[in-house]
Structure 1
Amino acid sequence: MNTATYPTIEQTVGNTPLVRLQRIPGADSDARGNVILAKLEGNNPAGSVKDRPALSMIRHAEARGEIRPGDTLIEATSGNTGIALAMVAAMRGYRMILIMPDNLSLERRAAMTAYGAQLILTPASKGGMEYARDLALAMQSEGKGKVLDQFANPDNPRAHIEGTGPELWTQTGGRITHFVSAMGTTGTIMGVSTYLKSQNPAVQVIGAQPAEGSQIPGIRKWPEAYLPAIFDRSRIDGYESIEQTEAESMARRLAAEEGIFGGISSAGALVAALRVSARVENATIVFIVCDRGDRYLSTGVFNT
């Protein structure tokens, strides 16, 4: 049998659909000549945009000789990166230890363990992701494994410089004028911005951040001491503060009115994209649907 004609699971990462919203943008957006497009990253095999950097970080670390199959990898994660790393570790033969705050959704925990990862839950009361990041580094210093460190690893944004950004440029025929993304590790927005601005410096890049007091899975506003090392302010042209209630409401609307079952941070990015659309004309605005809504069913967000 000629196996060369069949893809492996890792070859299905990326090349996700870009689709036009039909109802939510409304008549005002149409009158302005704007189009709002959703990049469906939930179509990746482990269900999120994080499949891209997970594969990139492991493949490039292997190529540099820093890790080899059979090694133990460690990562602090709020969910999607952990699921993606667990998948890639399973496909390439690594042990995976994931450290995660205990207030994140049950679906995410179950997905990680399904791929064979060991899960360490940390008390959210001790500092959430910041505490989880510190614990990962402490375990590495004790010789318990290698931290890939999505927050400082250039192979994270590299995945979007080499993949997501070129896809968006090609899919829009170079017509993209605005790119909107939730900000977590900032890998997606950093990498896509780098590529798009190399093609057209006039492309505007907008980051969605949580408003004061809002807790939106996948959207963070880091304390200064914990800002990801991969983050470069110069690559972002503006920010939109997103309220938790409007992100949750938009997640329900996105599913019910557009048939796109996305996560809560994805809906937050759409809220930001709609604000952009209200200010501009003849624009091609792309936002990232970074994962699927079924990852959040246990939170009750979609029950209202």
Structure 2
Amino acid sequence: MRERSLPLEHYIDVVKEILRRKRTRPVMIDKEGYVETGLEVFNGLEAIGTRLIPVAEDESELSVEVPIEQLGFYDNVIGDSTRVYTDLLELLERDVPTPLLRIKNLSSNTVTVWAKLEWYHPLSLSIKDRIAWYMVKRAREYGLLQAERIYEATSTNTGLGIVGIANYLGLKTRVYLPITAQHCVDYLFKALGSEVVRVPTQLTVEAVKKVIEDAKRDNAYTLNQFENDNNFIVHLKYTAKEIGYQLRKMGRRPRAIVSGLGTSGHISALAVYFKSMYGDVKVYGVQPSKDSFIPGLRRVETGMKWLGYADLDGVTDVSLEEAFNTVIHLARKEGLLIGLSGGAAVYAAKKLIEAGAIDGDVVIVIPDHGMKYIELFEYLIEKCVEEPGGARE
């Protein structure tokens, strides 16, 4: 079958309906192998990652519905226990799922908290490897990546993923970093052979216009994580489905998801997936409090492409100090040194649990490890942890 791709907004409602019903209608193809009837269904099934797509031989069969599990719905999130891969791209695609870990100090008789540990990716040690890989993969499949250079605005993690993949493919890269990105990350990118441009902006998204203009001038290609629908689709196809599959294998189902707001790709995909599949799952976003900066997070009012699909149950404000103290507390109680956006998500989940807003099985997305934030830790360890009420355990 040959694919004809539609914009996401043309088939997002079909995605929700397929997930809600857990069944799908078939499509019809023409003599050349292109989808003739049911293009929205075709795109929807591709987006949720079924291994097979049902094809009708005549119009009378278009009303027949097929359970998505019969189409290999979970096949792409069931990893290989040997974990042996022939190349980097295969590693990025097939080394799934990332771990789901019970957090004992947040769990009780009424709530079990699970951390989705997204630093189990090889390039950026973060969830951003998923979008870097999938954006590049789709660009190559559609013949869009003809240039020898990729330009991208990034605060760190997406850039590390893109640079790693580009190096493997023999492409040059230039990353545009905002002034809020730690100075030490410049050395990481330079060590990887990437050109680094510092832009006078607070938020990464504010540099996108310059990146696009420079890419056009230099005949380079920009993936643009803030507008590229593959940012949303990869989390629908993998991140959300992995969580659902992992809980299902334990005989559990999610009651709530808590995750940070950045580009909005992964939280929006999680919301679409779980609200469609289960109906009663609560999804809460986490953003920096006003006048606070947390790497990887931003506020709703800065504009996020996919948030309109999400139907969030609420958004919790968290300060940098609250996020950092939670990172330290979790490290000293659970042995996990997580990143600051993960610390913000854990803090928000704790507050929601204490308020009685969520119970049962709660999943918190932890985007990355804390090791990359040593530069900030040096500053915050004095400012936050030593203050009254800080985490001094």
Pair in the same fold by TM > 0.5: yes
For each residue in 1:118-167, what CA deviation from the matched residue of structure 2 results, as whole angstroms up to 9, or x when unmatched? Answer: 1111124xx54244222112213324411111111110111111110110
2-side partners of 1:238 and 1:285: how far apart? 15
2-side partners of 1:140 and 1:241: how far apart? 36
Q: Do the aligned partners of residues 130 and 280 (structure 1) sit closer, same or farther apart at CA in structure 2, a change above 3 Å counting?
A: closer
Detail structure 1 runs of 4+ shifted over 6 Å in the superposition: none
Percent of paired sites with the same residue:
27
* 1:72 aligned onto 2:149: yes
2-side partners of 1:194 and 1:78: how far apart? 26
Instruction: Name stretches of at least 5 consecutive residues in structure 1 with no aligned partner.
Output: none
* 1:248 aligned onto 2:324: yes
* 1:214 aligned onto 2:292: yes
What SS does the aligned partner of 1:105 have? coil
Moved more, 271-280 or 231-240: 231-240
Select 2:216's aligned residue among 127, 137, 141: 141
Code of the residue aligned with 1:206 in structure 2: it is Y
- TM-score, normalising length from structure 2? 0.70
Quote the residue 1:159 is aligned against: 234
Aligned residues: 291
1-side partners of 2:345 and 2:207: how far apart? 25
* 1:276 aligned onto 2:352: yes
Quote the residue 1:105 is aligned against: 182
1-side partners of 2:367 and 2:247: how far apart? 18
Deviation at 1:234, TM superposition (A): 4.1
The within-5 A match list for 1:256-271 is 256-271=332-347
Deviation at 1:184, TM superposition (A): 0.8
Quote the residue 1:168 is aligned against: 243
Quote the residue 1:288 is aligned against: 365
Deviation at 1:12, TM superposition (A): 3.3
Quote the residue 1:199 is aligned against: 277
What SS does the aligned partner of 2:323 have? helix
What SS does the aligned partner of 1:85 have? helix
1-side partners of 2:288 and 2:309: how far apart? 17
2-side partners of 1:113 and 1:199: how far apart? 44
Moved more, 233-242 or 264-273: 233-242
Q: Do the aligned partners of residues 140 and 202 (structure 1) sit closer, same or farther apart at CA in structure 2, a change above 3 Å counting?
A: same
* 1:34 aligned onto 2:116: no
Deviation at 1:203, TM superposition (A): 1.2
Quote the residue 2:5 is aligned against: none
For each residue in 1:165-204, what CA deviation from the matched residue of structure 2 results, as whole angstroms up to 9, or x when unmatched? Answer: 1100011115111111111111111122222223112111
Q: Which has the higher contact order (CA 8 A, sep 6+)?
A: 1
The within-5 A match list for 1:85-104 is 85-104=162-181
2-side partners of 1:149 and 1:203: how far apart? 30
Cα pair 1:53 1:155 within 8 Å, conserved? yes
Quote the residue 1:17 is aligned against: 99
What SS does the aligned partner of 1:285 have? strand
Deviation at 1:111, TM superposition (A): 2.5
- TM-score, normalising length from structure 1? 0.89
1-side partners of 2:329 and 2:270: how far apart? 26
For each residue in 1:249-285, what CA deviation from the matched residue of structure 2 results, as whole angstroms up to 9, or x when unmatched? Answer: 1111121111111110100000111122221464111
2-side partners of 1:66 and 1:246: how far apart? 43
2-side partners of 1:51 and 1:152: how far apart? 17
Moved more, 228-237 or 267-276: 228-237
Cα pair 1:107 1:296 within 8 Å, conserved? no
Cα pair 1:83 1:108 within 8 Å, conserved? no
2-side partners of 1:141 and 1:183: how far apart? 29
* 1:229 aligned onto 2:305: yes
Name the Cα RMSD after superposition: 2.1
Moved more, 256-265 or 279-288: 279-288
2-side partners of 1:200 and 1:101: how far apart? 39
1-side partners of 2:272 and 2:165: how far apart? 25
Q: Do the aligned partners of residues 235 and 110 (structure 1) sit closer, same or farther apart at CA in structure 2, a change above 3 Å counting?
A: farther
Cα pair 2:156 2:177 within 8 Å, conserved? yes
Deviation at 1:233, TM superposition (A): 5.6
Q: Do the aligned partners of residues 303 and 116 (structure 1) sit closer, same or farther apart at CA in structure 2, a change above 3 Å counting?
A: same
Code of the residue aligned with 2:265 in structure 1: it is G
2-side partners of 1:134 and 1:258: how far apart? 42
